[in-house]
Amino acid sequence: MLTDQQKGEIVDFFSQKRKIALTTHMNPDGDAVGSTLAMMHYLRLKGHEVTAIAPNSFPGFYAWLPGASDIVIYDKKASAVKKAMMEADMVFSLDYNGFSRVGQMTNLLKSAPGKKFLIDHHIDPEEGFDYYFSKTETTSTGQLVYDFINLMGDEVLINKEIAVAVYVSIMTDTGSFSFASNYPETYHIVANLIDKGVDAERVHRLVYDTFSENRLRLLGYAISERMLVWHHLHAAVIYLTKEDLKRFNYQVGDTEGVVNYPLSMDDVNLSILITEKEKKIKISFRSKGDFNVNLFARNGFNGGGHKNAAGGQTFTDVKKTISDLKAALEPLKDELNYKLSY
């Protein structure tokens, strides 16, 4: 977190009009978009010139968020992003813990001359940032942005736009208050966000009940035709090939949430989604209970994340990825063999 001296430096820094670039991770999720927009609205209210940036497109079900269309996508507007990054007095890194998480923007981020400020809730943030507002015992980066605004003494500035962005962060990163959601503070914050005008019911529908027919059919197909259950490992894998995605006219965001379904089986403690992309295989890991997918993803699958939700990648093919996963899990069979109780 910030020392008192750093806090003083930051208050000082923001006492003049500044150029700020906000960045978030590749394949932005609800927390990436939510924390970025909350920070964007806050800093604009404070009078700063803010460019919000994402490395690539975010799912359409976040497009309704106030200010979402202001997010500049590096994939589409590289030169505008370069300009903003090189001119920024400060660059924020939101919802990620290492430079390479911005993908194609990694070198640009490293070479940006402004101060670097990381706000994030993943473990072990990389060295190289000037300021860290980082802790793992929280729901989301959006919640940390809320904390940061309060730390700056600006609670009164939290308006409906900021509140709804923070709410989306918390709702999506807790799977609608089902994991990482045992922090009493979160519910005080959520109560405050609703006081500020958030319509929690409507937000839930806008994010979760806006599937296309293809997306819902892809989900059904994934579970019915593409799921392997390794009962002896208490694990399940869903794999989706490029052809599968094409068949259901895949759009960004269509596979979001698919990885959670296998965990609804009683004896499954680990769920893995393998998605074949153009140049790599993307893997998502989710666990319930003790099994640490962050470590598993870091150790063998070029990734990381949190204890119960992580991601990674391979550069082989779907079949080999499945067999590598199985081989890596066999020795962990006992670790995966537990039953939740209360």
How many residues make contact with Mn ion (CB under 5 A)?
A: 5
* Site string (26-65) toward ligand 5GP, x via CB under 6 A: ---x------------------------------------
How many residues make contact with ligand 5GP (CB under 6 A)?
A: 12
Asked if 95 interacts with Mn ion (CB under 5 A), we say: yes
Contacts to ligand 5GP from residues 72-91, by CB under 6 A? none
Asked if 120 interacts with Mn ion (CB under 5 A), we say: no
Give me the least distance between CB of 176 and ligand 5GP, in Å please: 15
Give me the least distance between CB of 297 and ligand 5GP, in Å please: 7
Asked if 31 interacts with Mn ion (CB under 5 A), we say: yes
- The residue among 136 and 241 lying less far from Mn ion, judged by its C-beta, is 136
Window of 53-61, 69-77, 158-166, 311-319 that interacts with ligand 5GP by CB under 6 A: 311-319
Give me the least distance between CB of 80 and Mn ion, in Å please: 25
Asked if 306 interacts with ligand 5GP (CB under 6 A), we say: yes
Who contacts 177 (Cβ-Cβ below 8 Å, separation ≥6)?
171
Who contacts 269 (Cβ-Cβ below 8 Å, separation ≥6)?
234, 235, 263, 287, 288, 289, 291, 336, 338
Residue of 50, 109, 236, 310 that binds ligand 5GP (CB under 6 A) = 310
Asked if 147 interacts with Mn ion (CB under 5 A), we say: no
Asked if 305 interacts with ligand 5GP (CB under 6 A), we say: yes
Give me the least distance between CB of 8 and ligand 5GP, in Å please: 31
Window of 47-55, 104-112, 175-183, 297-305 that interacts with ligand 5GP by CB under 6 A: 297-305
- Residue nearest Mn ion by beta-carbon distance: 31
Q: Under the rule (CB under 6 A), what is the footprint of ligand 5GP?
A: 25, 29, 284, 303-306, 309-313
Q: Under the rule (CB under 5 A), what is the footprint of Mn ion?
A: 31, 95, 140-141, 173
